[in-house]
Amino acid sequence: MEKVKSISELNKGLCSFIKQRYFSPFKIDGKKTSLNQYANACNLAPSTISKINSVKGYNIPVSTIYTITEFEETSLEVFFKDFFANFIPELASKK
């Protein structure tokens, strides 16, 4: 199994994946919305959403990922399967 080169790389990958999957564009019930409205709907601080959107990445807690996936009606299992399939394809193919 190939290891991730650094925790920083892993966090940037998670943030990039979340941004692509859920934040481009922000949507509530299928309708485009603002970052602030999305953050409020998710029960997260707008600054947390901004950190995830940052180019530098963010040391994202699992609890934040859970909050987003719950709001998006996706399980953590599906989220991480999709993340590993897209971010680290070698890991997905070896399972």
CATH of the domain at 35: 1.10.260
The answer to whether residue 45 is domain-embedded is yes
Q: Is residue 2 part of a domain?
A: no
**Is residue 84 over pLDDT 70?**
yes
Q: What is the pLDDT of residues 55-79, one digit of tens each?
A: 887 899 999 999 999 999 999 999 9
Is residue 60, in this structure, part of any structural domain at all? yes
At residue 15, the pLDDT reads: 94
Let me know: does 59 contact 14? Beta carbons within 8 Å.
no
The answer to whether 13 and 59 are in contact (CB under 8 A) is no
Helix, strand, coil percentages for the chain (3-state, nearest 5): 60, 5, 30
In a domain, 65, yes or no: yes
Question: Is residue 71 a contact partner of residue 42, using CB atoms and an 8 Å limit?
Answer: yes
Question: Taking the model in full, what pTM does it have?
Answer: 0.84
The Cα–Cα gap between 1 and 27 comes to 36
pLDDT tens, 50-59? 999 998 878 9
Please tell me the distance from the alpha carbon of residue 71 to that of residue 14, in angstroms, as a whole number: 17
Domain that holds residue 51: 7-93
